[in-house]
Amino acid sequence: MKKTILISKSFLLAACAAFLLPWCALAQNDTIEARIKDGVEARWGGSTSSVTKTPYLGLYEVFHEGEVFYTDENLTVFLLGPMIDAQTFKNVTAERLQRLMAINFSELPFKFAIKQVRGNGKYVVASFEDPNCGYCKRLAQDMAVLDNVTIYTFLYPILSQDSLEKSKQIWCSKDRVKAWNAWMRDGNEPASKGDCDTSAILRTRELGQRLKITGTPTLFFSDGLRFPGAMPIERIKLKLFGGQPAAQTPATSRGPAAQAGKAVAPPAVKGQAPQAGKATTPPAGKAAAPQAGKATAPKAGKAATPPAGKATAPKTGKATTPPAGKAAAPQAGKTTTPKAASSDKKP
């Protein structure tokens, strides 16, 4: 009887341990995250919004005062900077920060913004911009092509005192949209004196500080995601109108630089010897465009008779000096290799 009771007690203890083990592990994880939060705030000051374990090297993601960095459970190291997934080459830090910094779009105080409605106004975007920001002016040019959109522009003068004065002048204009576009696109100074109620600008600056907007332009879309800095118009269209991004040309290199989107120069095209004694005859009035790396050879001892007003090809064995800026015609049986275009010049 005693043996039976002992077995029952052992069984109960084992069952309790099995049931409580997951909860104990969860409590331990909570303890680790709480300890990291307290340790970060003690060493760095400020407030830590969240601590989340990552799938990388046992590290924990710390979201502190609008920034993301990483540490281990014992706070022996702090890793700052972007974390790149080695399989996908995605910037894990940037994606997480974008999610962590998202807002409730509908809670923005749109009455403090300049509202532009184009077409049916279905697609909505909000921007925080400084009137003296060069990237903001480029954005205004790019977004001029958008249709069926509603654009809320919050005047966010953070660059200079002149930015504040121009913001007041634009806000006090009879037609704020016209005044804003005239200044940002064409450089026409606003005519208003800026002597109306400009408390909306002050409220916008306070809002921007709460949202930790540190640069202009900063865009917010209807899903609450923010995009700070210059954003290409194609990405704006994709974000507004949906669809799939254009396929990228695969890089020939497997290294991180190639995966990060850097162009890889193609191999030089090798010249091919033309067939002996054959020449290509272009259509009437048109010059034959040679294929890359190939040259057409005239018949031995004969010169092609060009149409009136066109230069004659040199005789076999003789080379003529081409005019400045033009390439010399190749000699018979020889090929010229064209120079590869420079890949480090921007179009």
> In the predicted model, is pLDDT for residue 276 greater than 80?
no
pLDDT value of residue 243:
57
Q: Is it true that the peptide bond before 217 is cis, omega within 30 degrees of 0? A: yes
* Domain limit, last residue, from 100, 134, 165: 100
For the chain, percent of residues with pLDDT exceeding 70? 61
Q: Please report, to the nearest 10 degrees, the dihedral formed by the alpha carbons of residues 25, 28, 34, 35 taken in order.
A: -150
Selection from 124, 109, 114 nearest residue 223 by Cα: 124
Note whether residue 39 is domain-resident: yes
Range of lowest pLDDT (39-43, 154-158, 248-252)? 248-252
Note whether residue 338 is domain-resident: no
Same domain, 118 and 165: yes
* Domain limit, last residue, from 65, 100, 135: 100
Euclidean distance between CA atoms 224 and 99, whole angstroms:
9
Same domain, 170 and 222: yes
The total domain count for the chain is 2
β-bridge mates for residue 78, sequence order: 71
**CATH number of the CATH domain containing 138:** 3.40.30.10
> What are the structure tokens assigned to 71, written together?
């540490």
Euclidean distance between CA atoms 266 and 79, whole angstroms:
37
Same domain, 115 and 211: yes
Same domain, 67 and 111: no
Note whether residue 302 is domain-resident: no
Question: In this structure, which amino acid lies at residue 71?
Answer: T
pLDDT value of residue 66:
87
Q: Are strands 78-80 and 218-221 parallel, antiparallel or unpaired?
A: unpaired
pLDDT value of residue 10:
52
Q: Quickly count helices (H) and strands (E) in the chain.
A: 8, 9
* Domain limit, last residue, from 213, 240, 267: 240
Range of lowest pLDDT (7-16, 83-92, 332-341)? 332-341
Note whether residue 45 is domain-resident: yes
pTM: 0.60
Note whether residue 33 is domain-resident: yes
Euclidean distance between CA atoms 247 and 196, whole angstroms:
50
Euclidean distance between CA atoms 308 and 336, whole angstroms:
27
Note whether residue 8 is domain-resident: no
Note whether residue 312 is domain-resident: no
pLDDT tens across 116-163, in order?
999 999 999 999 999 999 999 999 999 999 999 999 999 999 999 999
Question: 145 burial class (0-12, 13-18, 19+ CB within 10 angstroms)?
Answer: exposed
Same domain, 124 and 145: yes
Which range of 2-6, 27-31, 158-162 scores highest in mean pLDDT? It is 158-162
Q: What are phi and psi of 65, to 5 degrees?
A: 50, 45
Same domain, 138 and 94: no
Note whether residue 233 is domain-resident: yes
Euclidean distance between CA atoms 338 and 57, whole angstroms:
50
Question: In this structure, which amino acid lies at residue 332?
Answer: A
Same domain, 47 and 114: no
Same domain, 194 and 174: yes
> In the predicted model, is pLDDT for residue 197 greater than 50?
yes
State the number of CA atoms in the 13 A half-sphere of 78 facing the CB. 13
Same domain, 135 and 234: yes
**CATH number of the CATH domain containing 79:** 3.10.450.70
Same domain, 191 and 81: no
Domain span including residue 69: 19-100
Same domain, 35 and 132: no
Same domain, 79 and 121: no
Selection from 65, 69, 68, 33 nearest residue 51 by Cα: 33
